[in-house]
Amino acid sequence: MKRTARTSVTPKIKELSETVKDIPKHRIGIMGGTFNPIHNAHLLIADQVMTQLGLDRVAFMPDANPPHVDRKFAIDGRDRANMIKLAIRSNPRFYLETEELRRGGTSYSYDTMLKLTHEHPENEYFFIIGGDMVAYLPKWYRINDLLHLVHFVGVKRAGYPVKSNLYPVIWVDVPYVDISSTLIRRYIHQGQSIRYLVPDSVRKYIKEHQLYH
Ligand X SMILES: Nc1ncnc2c1ncn2[C@@H]1O[C@H](COP(=O)(O)OP(=O)(O)OP(=O)(O)O)[C@@H](O)[C@H]1O
Ligand Y SMILES: O=C(O)c1ccc[n+]([C@@H]2O[C@H](COP(=O)([O-])O)[C@@H](O)[C@H]2O)c1
Interacting positions 32-51 with ligand Y (CB under 6 A): 32-34
- Based on the number of CB atoms within 10 Å of its own CB, is 6 exposed (0-12), middle (13-18) or buried (19 or more)? exposed
CB 158 → ligand X: shortest distance, Å? 7
Tell me how far apart the alpha carbons of residues 149 and 144 are, in angstroms, rounded to a whole number.
Answer: 9
What is the x/- site pattern for ligand Y, positions 144-183, by CB under 6 A? ----------------------------------------
Residue 25 CB-half CA count within 13 A: 12
Longest dimension (CA), the chain: 82
Distance (Å, whole) CA 67 – CA 3: 56
CB of 25 to ligand X, least distance (A): 23
Per CB under 6 A, residues contacting ligand X are 33-36, 41-42, 45, 72, 129-130, 132-133, 155, 157, 177, 179-182
**Binding region for ligand Y (CB under 6 A) out of 44-52, 65-73, 76-84, 195-203:** 65-73
d(CA 65, CA 60): 15
Residues near ligand Y (CB under 6 A)? 32-34, 63, 66-68, 107-110, 129, 133, 140-141
